[in-house]
Structure 1
Amino acid sequence: MTSIFQRALGDDFDRLHPQLRRRFGFGSDDGIACVGTGVMDRVWHGRGFTRPFLWLGAQRHILLPSRGSDIPFTIQNYPYRDSLGRETVTFVRTFVFDRPKRWDATMIYSPERGCVVDYLGTHQHVSVDLHLSVDDGGALVIRSGEQRFHEGPLHFRIPALVTGTAQVRESYDEDAGRFRIDVEVTNHRFGPLFGYHGTFTCTFPDAADAPQSIKPVREQARA
């Protein structure tokens, strides 16, 4: 099966480092998942006024209000078909501060939007267009685009003033034998909001389906 990331990148998928092709190259018919375990060297957030927004988002596993160094980290990427028949991949990230905190997302490929769409949180209230590319070092680069809010009959584009633009770079360090991740979310007016960077290793367990505990509580039909 062609993964959602292969569909988004097209021929550029073959330019990824081989370990990244393995990490992002499977789908629900392949019967495997990818589970990463490591340490984030630093998890940070912006100035004090950002904390209420981060705390609110954290109630639905959308944002991280905490910060620290050497934070244990896991990421669970399980492919499955959602109730609408869409090929879906979980991105459930757990950061262990004084107690574990999760940042959940589920991703699909949208032919209508021509990109990967990232549904944030436990209830998929927010969908975000993700634009993927491959840099000269074979790393995967993801930049977020338009963001939309969904709740009942409400469906609207979120103004850029109150959103953050995420930039993610994931690479493979041959010398260390580890994946490297660097995430930064900024607002064009207020500056850096939050981010993290660190390393992890991956296992590829057999998986017929994603565990129910990491699936969203509600699925949103609208991209």
Structure 2
Amino acid sequence: MISIYERALGADFFKLHPQIQRRFSLHSQSGVGAVGTGTMERIWHGAPYTLPFLYVGTWRSIMFPEHGKDVPFTIENYAYIDPLGRETVSWVRTFSTKRKRRFDAYMIFSEERGCIIDYLGTHQHLAVDIQVSVADNGGLRLRSGEQRFYEGPIAFRFPWLFTGVADVCEWYDNDQECFCIDVSARNRIWGGLFGYRGRFTVDWVKMAPEQVPSAILPKRLEARV
């Protein structure tokens, strides 16, 4: 069995740094989860007019308006089969700002769309196409594409005017022996919306497929891609 990231990258997966390969090899039969602990050197947000958008994101653990430096951080990556039968990888990030904030996401690989789909938030209201590639430093780069909103009978694609394009790069620093991450979300009209940059180390947690912590699972599943 291979991970959703290896499916998306094909042979290019083996161009990744070996530690990045290990991180993104997780699948539901791996027998381990990856729990990262570290510090975000900087968390930032855009101009004041972007703040209402970020506050709305806090309702479903998507984005948040806080900013700061040297913020304690954890990231929980578990691979599991969700109740819809989909190979899924959690990206549950917790930032210990003055008010603790979570940023939840759940990734699958969609044969229909030919890419990874990232379901954002506790209720998976947002489905985002993700294109993955190998960065020059051997890291994994993820870039968001089309974004769709789903809630009950309501379904629509976000127009580009209201879409934030996210760029994520995660790589391994050989000198510091840690993982590094740089995230930036921007809108072509409004400019920078939100981002963070920092580093972390990973503990590999042994676990059976049925032992994924319930606290990291979404409260609602979305079947539509």
Shared fold, TM over 0.5:
yes
Q: What aligned pairs does 1:152-167 form with structure 2 within 5 A after superposition?
A: 152-167=152-167
Structure 2 gap segments, 5+ residues each: none
Map of 1:177 onto structure 2: 177
Map of 2:34 onto structure 1: 34
Map of 1:213 onto structure 2: 215
What is the DSSP-based 3-state SS (H/G/I as helix, E as strand, rest coil) of the residue aligned with 1:193? strand
Map of 2:57 onto structure 1: 57
Q: Kindly indicate whether residue 138 of structure 2 is the aligned counterpart of residue 138 of structure 1.
A: yes
Q: What aligned pairs does 1:18-97 form with structure 2 within 5 A after superposition?
A: 18-97=18-97
The one-letter amino acid of 1:9's match is: L
Cα deviation, residue 99, structure 1 = 2.7
- After TM superposition, the runs of 4+ consecutive aligned structure 1 residues lying more than 3 A away are none
TM-score w.r.t. the length of structure 2 is: 0.97
Percent identity of equivalent pairs: 55
Aligned length: 223
Distance in 1 between the 2:79 and 2:5 partners?
12
Distance in 1 between the 2:220 and 2:58 partners?
17
Cα deviation, residue 139, structure 1 = 1.0
Cα deviation, residue 161, structure 1 = 0.9
Cα deviation, residue 160, structure 1 = 1.2
What is the DSSP-based 3-state SS (H/G/I as helix, E as strand, rest coil) of the residue aligned with 1:29? coil
Q: Deviations over 1:12-70 (max 9, x none)?
A: 10000000000010201111111100000000000001111100111100112110000
Structure 1 gap segments, 5+ residues each: none
Distance in 1 between the 2:89 and 2:196 partners?
21
Distance in 2 between the 1:69 and 1:11 partners?
38
Cα deviation, residue 212, structure 1 = 1.1
Distance in 2 between the 1:144 and 1:81 partners?
23
What is the DSSP-based 3-state SS (H/G/I as helix, E as strand, rest coil) of the residue aligned with 1:133? strand
What is the DSSP-based 3-state SS (H/G/I as helix, E as strand, rest coil) of the residue aligned with 1:62? coil
